[in-house]
Amino acid sequence: MALIPAILEDFDQIFEREPADIPSILAIVDRCWKVDTNLKQYYEDLESAASGPLYWPEFSAMDMLPGDLEDAKVFPVVFRFSTSRPHSSV
DSSP assignment of the chain: -TTHHHHHHHHHHHTTSSS--HHHHHHHHHHHHHHHHHHHHHHHHHHHH-SS-SEEEEE----SSSSS-GGG-SSSEEEEE--SS-----
Q: Are residues 10 and 40 in the same domain?
A: yes
Whether residue 90 is contained in a domain is answered as no
Q: Are residues 66 and 38 in the same domain?
A: no
Average pLDDT in the 1-6 region?
A: 87
Write the pLDDT tens digit of every residue in 14-29: 877 777 788 989 999 9
Per-residue pLDDT, 20: 73
Q: Are residues 4 and 45 in the same domain?
A: yes
Instruction: Report the number of distinct structural domains present in the chain.
Output: 2
Q: Are residues 35 and 61 in the same domain?
A: no
* Residues of the domain holding 75: 52-84
Write the pLDDT tens digit of every residue in 41-70: 999 998 898 888 899 999 877 666 565 555
Q: Are residues 56 and 44 in the same domain?
A: no
Bond from prior residue into 19 cis (ω within 30 degrees of 0): yes
pTM of the predicted structure, to 2 decimals: 0.62
Whether residue 21 is contained in a domain is answered as yes
